[in-house]
Structure 1
Amino acid sequence: MVHKTLCFGLLGILFAYYVYLPMPENIEEHWKIRIADAVTKMISLVATLFENIGLMKYEELFFTLSTCFLTKQVSDDNITVIDTDFSNIPVRLYLPKRKSERHRRAIIFFHGGAFVLGSCKMFFYDFLNRWTANKLDAVVVGVDYRLAPQYPFPIALEDCVSVVKFFLQDKIFTKYGVDPTRICISGDSSGGTLSAAVTHLLQDDPEFKDKIKAQALIYPCLQIIDTLTPSYREYEHGPLLPKEVAINLASLYLTKDKELPRAALRNEHMPQDSRHLFKFVNWSVFLPEKYKKNHVYTEPILGKLNASYPALVDSRVSPLLASDSKLQSLPLTYILTCEHDLFRDDGIIYATRIRNAGVQVTHEHIEEGIHGALSFTTAPLFLNLGFRIRDKYISWLEKNL
């Protein structure tokens, strides 16, 4: 009993410490975000402790907690919700009930979760996709791709490509009343990574080229080449997504070897022959001056890892590694970035590069934004920021799809 009391007391002290860590001044509803941020840091601390004592792997605690947010398929007065599979990949379909005078647009949505967590069936994604279907009178497909580390790269990407190709069939368009000229691929965070990678791959496929009208990326992670961009430095400790948590989880998409995340945290993870790729993600060239501040650009340190990870130089993992000629073929693009986010600079660089390549792009930047805000539009935690991001996303789709 004494040991339990001491443990709870220590956890209480740590939670209070995390709650009172410095927070960017312009964040709205900062107490809500302080609490959510403290919870994330506490989970990471406990997960590290559990792994060190051999109780469970670091990611298993995050995964176990994420399953608590799963929902069953529930239709309502406006939307029919169906759990099925496309090409043997589980999907959740949202089909408007009201009659439509013309074929509907369609959105294929890939959820976030660092490639190791999450599901389109989590309540906040279910709410988002249901809302999208209802507001836009659209068919929405939420994709439950397989997760790392059990299914490492490129399995998640292959699942997403399989679902999109299955959906892009005339018989599917007819079955669900979809207009084949109004298809959008979208996703948030690592789902944004997958959205960009899928779009790139389809544009390279003669059979599917130009069948996607738009891609919509919400605070996407688009490169793992440089973990010392200004946003990585400024928001190393969050809010909500600390650098260590992001790298520890996302590295599992590539390998279970703990040496990779340790090296990535030091920006010493890239192989010796990768210097030619740095030009694609060089923030000193692509970022506006306001984001460079007083930071000095230094290249990642090469050749520190003994093991070889080919995926580190693969544009399917880091869509920013695509050449300018490949970027030119991209469809209409929407990118939303948040100021207080590790991945802020990824989205800004991507928007700059594809605009320079001649692609029509809408880039919306939320000055008081944080990563993951879109997940806080349902109980138990509501953020006005989450609603604003959702509404911006829906508004763009309504006008452009």
Structure 2
Amino acid sequence: MGFKALCLGLFCALCASYIYITIPGNIEEYWKVIALFTVAKTCTFMDMCFENLGIMKHGDLISMIFSLDYTQPLSDENVTVTDTIFVDTPVRLYLPKRKSEIRRPAVIYIHGGGFCFGSFRQKAYDSLNRWTANKLNAVVVGLDYRLAPQHHFPAQFEDSFTAVKFFLQDKILRKYGVDPTRICVSGDSSGGNLAAAVTQQVQIDLEIKHKIKLQALIYPVLQIIDSCLPSHQENEHGIILTKDLGIKLVSSYITTDETVTQAMRRNQHMPLESRHLFKFVNWSTLLPKKYRKNHVYTEPVLGRHNYSLPALMDIRASPLLANDSQLQNLPSTYILTCQYDCVRDDGLMYVTRLQNVGVQVTHDHIENGFHGALLFMVSPPYLRLGLRIRDMYISWLDKNL
């Protein structure tokens, strides 16, 4: 009995040390956020334990938990909801029931989840897309892409791009009554990465007749080449998304090689031939002074490893690596960033780069915001921050689409 009690005590101590969290004092609904963060860290800890014990693969537990939140395509009095396939990509369509004398605008939404988790079926995304369709009288397409680690880059990009390209065909736009001049591509987190990459590709693809009018990126992940930005340092133990978790998800996105994960933690994962790319993510010049603070820029250690990973230098994985002439083709853009977010500076640098080449950018920054809050705007959390992000996003779409 004494030995079992000792083991239980040690296990509880380990859990407490791992789950211990600190939350900034200005966070809205403080105790609700602490509860959410505690649950998230507990699930991550259990996932790690099950992986080490050989019970489950990494991420399987989290995927099971996510699937419990999935919804069915239920229509309501305002919107007809159906699940279908665009080429080989599952999508959920939201078609307003309101009569319209003219063709409707359309929003294509790409969900987040670190490239490894998530679906348009999640309650929060279903609610967001349903709300968008109703408020804007718009056709909304939520799309699912293949997930890591079962599928690596560029599968996620290819699924998203193929679905968008399919939707932009004249016959499909006519079928759903969509105005080809009023189409937006949106996404949050890793979905923001895919939305940005897809928009870049659509705008330069000569085979695509109709282009994107707007792109909307909510706390997007936009580069994987520098893992030591000020936001990485300040939010290393951030709310919901920690630096370590972010690196684990990104490395799973591009490879199964665990040495890449370790190298990314030390910011030593990039090859020598990538040196010229760092001018596109040099936060010492691209970040507003307010966010540089007293941090000192140091170039990452290059060429430490000899693995071959083309994804590390591919703009489809890191849209921030696009050169200025590529960025000039982009449509009006909305970017939302949060102060307490490990990937905050990706969005801030994209704002600067787009503004520098003359792209019209609307930037909302939430001082007491954190990554992933949009997922908690529905019950039971019903987080006010998530609802605020939703309303800011919808307001911008309403004025610009």
Q: Do the two structures share a fold, i.e. TM-score over 0.5? A: yes
Q: What is the DSSP-based 3-state SS (H/G/I as helix, E as strand, rest coil) of the residue aligned with 2:330?
A: coil
Deviation at 1:43? 2.0
Q: What is the DSSP-based 3-state SS (H/G/I as helix, E as strand, rest coil) of the residue aligned with 2:59?
A: helix
Between 340-349 and 299-308, report the one with greater CA deviation.
Answer: 299-308
Structure 2: distance between partners of 1:5 and 1:208? 66
Tell whether the 8 Å contact from 1:337 to 1:347 is kept in structure 2 after alignment.
yes
Q: What is the DSSP-based 3-state SS (H/G/I as helix, E as strand, rest coil) of the residue aligned with 1:27?
A: coil
Tell whether the 8 Å contact from 1:202 to 1:209 is kept in structure 2 after alignment.
no
Tell whether the 8 Å contact from 2:374 to 2:387 is kept in structure 1 after alignment.
yes
Question: 1:128 matched to which residue of 2?
Answer: 128
Question: 1:397 matched to which residue of 2?
Answer: 397
Deviation at 1:209? 6.2
TM-score norm. by structure 2 comes to 0.96
Q: What is the DSSP-based 3-state SS (H/G/I as helix, E as strand, rest coil) of the residue aligned with 1:300?
A: coil
Does the alignment pair 1:197 with 2:197?
Answer: yes
Question: 1:230 matched to which residue of 2?
Answer: 230
Q: Deviations over 1:374-397 (max 9, x none)?
A: 111111111111111000000000
Between 29-38 and 139-148, report the one with greater CA deviation.
Answer: 29-38
Structure 2: distance between partners of 1:22 and 1:221? 24
TM-score norm. by structure 1 comes to 0.96
Letter in 2 for 1:44: T
Tell whether the 8 Å contact from 1:114 to 1:246 is kept in structure 2 after alignment.
yes
Structure 1 segment 135-214 matched on structure 2, within 5 A = 135-208=135-208, 211-214=211-214
Does the alignment pair 1:281 with 2:281?
Answer: yes
Between 300-309 and 390-399, report the one with greater CA deviation.
Answer: 300-309
Q: Deviations over 1:225-281 (max 9, x none)?
A: 111000000001111101111111221111011111111011111112111110000
Q: Pick closer, same or farther for the CA change 1:284–1:216 going to 2, 3 Å.
A: same
Q: What is the DSSP-based 3-state SS (H/G/I as helix, E as strand, rest coil) of the residue aligned with 1:206?
A: coil
Tell whether the 8 Å contact from 2:236 to 2:243 is kept in structure 1 after alignment.
yes
Cα root mean square deviation, aligned: 1.8
Tell whether the 8 Å contact from 1:40 to 1:241 is kept in structure 2 after alignment.
no
Q: Deviations over 1:159-178 (max 9, x none)?
A: 11111111111111211111
Q: Pick closer, same or farther for the CA change 1:10–1:395 going to 2, 3 Å.
A: farther
Structure 1: distance between partners of 2:44 and 2:304? 26
Deviation at 1:293? 0.8
Tell whether the 8 Å contact from 1:19 to 1:34 is kept in structure 2 after alignment.
no
Letter in 2 for 1:338: C
Does the alignment pair 1:383 with 2:383?
Answer: yes
Structure 1: distance between partners of 2:275 and 2:179? 44
Tell whether the 8 Å contact from 2:334 to 2:361 is kept in structure 1 after alignment.
yes
Structure 1: distance between partners of 2:311 and 2:20? 39
Letter in 1 for 2:78: N
Tell whether the 8 Å contact from 2:152 to 2:252 is kept in structure 1 after alignment.
yes
Structure 1: distance between partners of 2:302 and 2:174? 52
Tell whether the 8 Å contact from 2:180 to 2:210 is kept in structure 1 after alignment.
no
Q: What is the DSSP-based 3-state SS (H/G/I as helix, E as strand, rest coil) of the residue aligned with 1:95?
A: strand
Between 29-38 and 370-379, report the one with greater CA deviation.
Answer: 29-38
Question: 2:324 matched to which residue of 1?
Answer: 324
Question: 2:75 matched to which residue of 1?
Answer: 75
Tell whether the 8 Å contact from 2:79 to 2:96 is kept in structure 1 after alignment.
yes
Structure 2: distance between partners of 1:48 and 1:332? 41
Deviation at 1:369? 0.5
Unaligned stretches of 5+ residues in structure 2 = none
Deviation at 1:56? 1.7
Question: 1:298 matched to which residue of 2?
Answer: 298
Structure 2: distance between partners of 1:320 and 1:7? 48
Structure 1: distance between partners of 2:210 and 2:360? 14
Question: 2:246 matched to which residue of 1?
Answer: 246
Q: Pick closer, same or farther for the CA change 1:19–1:312 going to 2, 3 Å.
A: closer
Q: Pick closer, same or farther for the CA change 1:11–1:67 going to 2, 3 Å.
A: farther
Q: Pick closer, same or farther for the CA change 1:2–1:124 going to 2, 3 Å.
A: farther
Letter in 2 for 1:328: Q
Deviation at 1:17? 5.5
Tell whether the 8 Å contact from 2:181 to 2:210 is kept in structure 1 after alignment.
no
Q: What is the DSSP-based 3-state SS (H/G/I as helix, E as strand, rest coil) of the residue aligned with 2:68?
A: helix
Tell whether the 8 Å contact from 1:160 to 1:198 is kept in structure 2 after alignment.
yes
Deviation at 1:34? 1.3
Q: Deviations over 1:315-337 (max 9, x none)?
A: 10000000011101101100000
Tell whether the 8 Å contact from 1:59 to 1:249 is kept in structure 2 after alignment.
no
Tell whether the 8 Å contact from 2:222 to 2:320 is kept in structure 1 after alignment.
yes
Tell whether the 8 Å contact from 1:90 to 1:143 is kept in structure 2 after alignment.
yes
Q: What is the DSSP-based 3-state SS (H/G/I as helix, E as strand, rest coil) of the residue aligned with 2:257?
A: coil
Between 35-44 and 309-318, report the one with greater CA deviation.
Answer: 35-44
Between 84-93 and 5-14, report the one with greater CA deviation.
Answer: 5-14
Tell whether the 8 Å contact from 1:33 to 1:240 is kept in structure 2 after alignment.
no
Structure 2: distance between partners of 1:44 and 1:91? 28
Unaligned stretches of 5+ residues in structure 1 = none
Deviation at 1:22? 2.2
Letter in 1 for 2:176: Y
Deviation at 1:19? 6.6
Q: What is the DSSP-based 3-state SS (H/G/I as helix, E as strand, rest coil) of the residue aligned with 1:81?
A: strand
Q: Deviations over 1:99-118 (max 9, x none)?
A: 11211100000000111100
Aligned length: 401
Q: Deviations over 1:105-164 (max 9, x none)?
A: 000000001111000111111011001111111100000111112121111111111111
Structure 1: distance between partners of 2:114 and 2:234? 20
Deviation at 1:207? 2.6
Structure 1: distance between partners of 2:14 and 2:382? 24
Tell whether the 8 Å contact from 2:18 to 2:45 is kept in structure 1 after alignment.
no
Deviation at 1:6? 7.2
Deviation at 1:44? 2.1
